[in-house]
A and B are shown apart, each in its own frame.
Chain A
């Protein structure tokens, strides 16, 4: 059990640092005002997705880092969960945006997209939150134990 907790702590520390870095990059790119593409990764430069989205990714990283010590304690674990929830919000919005974009056929095209264009919408590059999404899902399987509250009613 102790070993598992240690592994979880190390895992979420690393994820926290990566998330924090991506959050910073998001904000810096948004301030710079020029999209940055590195392979399959694209950091958006618009103030909404890059600036506010970056702030949320950064906060997610801070939640991970503040919760990774003594992870089995329920309050610490709740920070890890919240870090993941913040990432899910940003990544979920990116994915929802792709879905909404992929369905209609465009201004001059047919009512609905062709299969090729529909699938093409989901091709890379992706924003950082989508890359972090699978790693944040680990929180669902993470063990935790309930702890006794100090102010019990005895």
Chain B
């Protein structure tokens, strides 16, 4: 049967009368709260409060309760003496690689593959990553993340990105590997390149945050502030220098909802297992490689060879070469290694910033390579430039302040 135009309109009217009900739209409390979270005047304090809660719970759970409360006692009081006893009859070089320093009375200073390696991976980083992903999952499932994207959209446009770039940025605070993959949500090559480079340089992963909380709790805020400043400064420079487009997009903001236990546990399990698979072998391998390099004298040779750059340009002790090599395998391990090198508070800030910005860990490196070798080379070029400029600039600040 074929209908003419009038018949079609009549049919539409009939369908509408039977299916659509007209009335007054009532604004709900959930919607009103949703509006408050995206308006800059009210949204910024709310975002600060959420970040405060995020960080406070992270520190209390991972630092106070798990690491300081139980794992330090377990590893230093029981595991380390057991390992020292177990390997006591092995040749010295095997002892050094697996257990580390024979004089050490805690796992932070031992630096053996099975002592510091397991302590860093299980005792420090695992609780940090667990609580980080739990809170991130809750924020995602409640529906806050899209609102944060809307709120920060205008700011991120200044560096050539848009609001959704907050998703890889925050994911990167957990682990850089999924964050680099998440860069695909950005529209253009230019945006993806800027995001990937900024993640690799300026965003410390959850493991690194956990260990920083343990090693430099007092100065960690400064380190993060410095990295955040770099994120925006170098993002802005890259946006201005690189050709390509940074288009506007429409963001879909879903309603706030209660997270379901099933979704939260499933996401959390998936992410923690992914971390354990990718991080633990690298931490253990990192300890072993660095110990072998120490035994072979390679680290001493590199320390002496690179001394003018490290001492003269960056203003840090030449011994930081060892941790910087370990940083290529795991940055959390490298920060832990820094804790036993004698240096001032300001040198420590510089050294931790250098470890954060100097090179992505090997897992991130591999995933960046998957995204394209040209992009990877470009990112590395930017990275080397940034490391020299930023590291030297930080040294200059300390000299000007007279605190070096």
The residues of A with any CB-CB pair to B shorter than 8 Å are: 47-49, 52-53, 55-56, 59, 62-63, 74-75, 77-79, 81-82, 85-86, 89-90, 92-93, 96-97, 99-101, 103-104, 107, 111, 144, 146-149, 151-154
Inter-subunit contact A148/B26 (CB<8 Å): yes
Inter-subunit contact A144/B49 (CB<8 Å): no
* Known pairs A55-B48, A92-B53; A153 contacts B25 (CB<8 A): yes
For A77, A104, A151, the residue with the greatest tally of chain B CB atoms inside 10 Å of its CB is A104
Min CB gap B230→A, angstroms: 21
Inter-subunit contact B70/A104 (CB<8 Å): yes
Report the nearest A residue to B65, measured CB to CB: A100
With a cutoff of 8 Å between Cβ atoms, the chain A residues found around residue B33 in the complex are: 78, 81-82
With a cutoff of 8 Å between Cβ atoms, the chain B residues found around residue A154 in the complex are: 22, 24
Q: Which of B25, B29, B36, B61 contacts A152 (CB 8 A)?
A: B25
A63→B46 CA distance, assembly (Å):
10
Min CB gap A99→B, angstroms: 8
> 5 A-B contacts, Cβ less than 8 Å apart?
A55-B48, A62-B45, A92-B53, A104-B70, A148-B26
A52→B26 CA distance, assembly (Å):
36
Q: Does B69 contact A (CB under 8 A)?
A: yes
Q: Does B42 contact A (CB under 8 A)?
A: yes
Min CB gap B293→A, angstroms: 33
Q: Which of B25, B46, B50, B55 contacts A149 (CB 8 A)?
A: B25
Report the nearest B residue to A81, measured CB to CB: B33
With a cutoff of 8 Å between Cβ atoms, the chain B residues found around residue A96 in the complex are: 56-57, 60-61
With a cutoff of 8 Å between Cβ atoms, the chain A residues found around residue B56 in the complex are: 48-49, 93, 96-97
For B33, B72, B221, the residue with the greatest tally of chain A CB atoms inside 10 Å of its CB is B33
A56→B27 CA distance, assembly (Å):
27
Inter-subunit contact A147/B27 (CB<8 Å): yes
Q: Which of A55, A104, A147 contacts B65 (CB 8 A)?
A: A104
Q: Does B68 contact A (CB under 8 A)?
A: yes
A90→B73 CA distance, assembly (Å):
30
Report the nearest B residue to A66, measured CB to CB: B42
A49→B368 CA distance, assembly (Å):
38
A63→B162 CA distance, assembly (Å):
28
A152→B21 CA distance, assembly (Å):
13
* Known pairs A55-B45, A89-B49, A90-B52; A148 contacts B64 (CB<8 A): no
With a cutoff of 8 Å between Cβ atoms, the chain A residues found around residue B32 in the complex are: 74-75, 77-78
Inter-subunit contact B24/A152 (CB<8 Å): yes
With a cutoff of 8 Å between Cβ atoms, the chain A residues found around residue B42 in the complex are: 63, 79, 82
Q: Does B28 contact A (CB under 8 A)?
A: yes
Report the nearest B residue to A86, measured CB to CB: B49
Report the nearest A residue to B30, measured CB to CB: A78
Per-residue A-contact encoding for B139-159, CB less than 8 Å = 1, 0 else: 000000000000000000000
With a cutoff of 8 Å between Cβ atoms, the chain A residues found around residue B29 in the complex are: 74, 77-78, 81, 144
Inter-subunit contact A146/B28 (CB<8 Å): yes
Inter-subunit contact B45/A59 (CB<8 Å): yes
Inter-subunit contact A47/B221 (CB<8 Å): yes
Inter-subunit contact B24/A103 (CB<8 Å): no
* Known pairs A146-B27, A146-B28, A152-B25; A100 contacts B61 (CB<8 A): yes
With a cutoff of 8 Å between Cβ atoms, the chain A residues found around residue B48 in the complex are: 52, 55-56, 59
Min CB gap B224→A, angstroms: 11
A48→B54 CA distance, assembly (Å):
12
Report the nearest A residue to B62, measured CB to CB: A100
With a cutoff of 8 Å between Cβ atoms, the chain B residues found around residue A56 in the complex are: 45, 48-49, 52
Inter-subunit contact A93/B60 (CB<8 Å): yes
With a cutoff of 8 Å between Cβ atoms, the chain A residues found around residue B45 in the complex are: 55-56, 59, 62-63, 86
| Residues of chain B from 44 to 99 with CB closer than 8 A to chain A in the complex | 45-46, 48-50, 52-53, 55-57, 60-61, 64-65, 68-70, 72-73
Min CB gap A4→B, angstroms: 18
Inter-subunit contact B36/A79 (CB<8 Å): yes
| Residues of chain B from 300 to 327 with CB closer than 8 A to chain A in the complex | none
With a cutoff of 8 Å between Cβ atoms, the chain B residues found around residue A111 in the complex are: 70, 73
Min CB gap B57→A, angstroms: 6
With a cutoff of 8 Å between Cβ atoms, the chain B residues found around residue A49 in the complex are: 56
A14→B22 CA distance, assembly (Å):
42
Inter-subunit contact B52/A89 (CB<8 Å): yes
Inter-subunit contact A104/B69 (CB<8 Å): yes
Inter-subunit contact A93/B53 (CB<8 Å): yes
Inter-subunit contact B53/A89 (CB<8 Å): yes
Given contact pairs A48-B56, A86-B49, enumerate 11 new A-B contacts (beta carbons under 8 Å). A59-B45, A63-B45, A77-B29, A86-B46, A92-B53, A101-B60, A101-B65, A104-B68, A104-B73, A111-B73, A147-B26
Q: Does B35 contact A (CB under 8 A)?
A: yes
Q: Which of A55, A93, A153 contacts B57 (CB 8 A)?
A: A93
Closest 7 CB pairs of A and B: A104-B69, A78-B32, A59-B45, A93-B56, A100-B65, A100-B60, A89-B53
Min CB gap B287→A, angstroms: 25
| Residues of chain B from 215 to 265 with CB closer than 8 A to chain A in the complex | 221
Inter-subunit contact B60/A53 (CB<8 Å): no
For B23, B46, B49, B73, the residue with the greatest tally of chain A CB atoms inside 10 Å of its CB is B49
A90→B53 CA distance, assembly (Å):
7
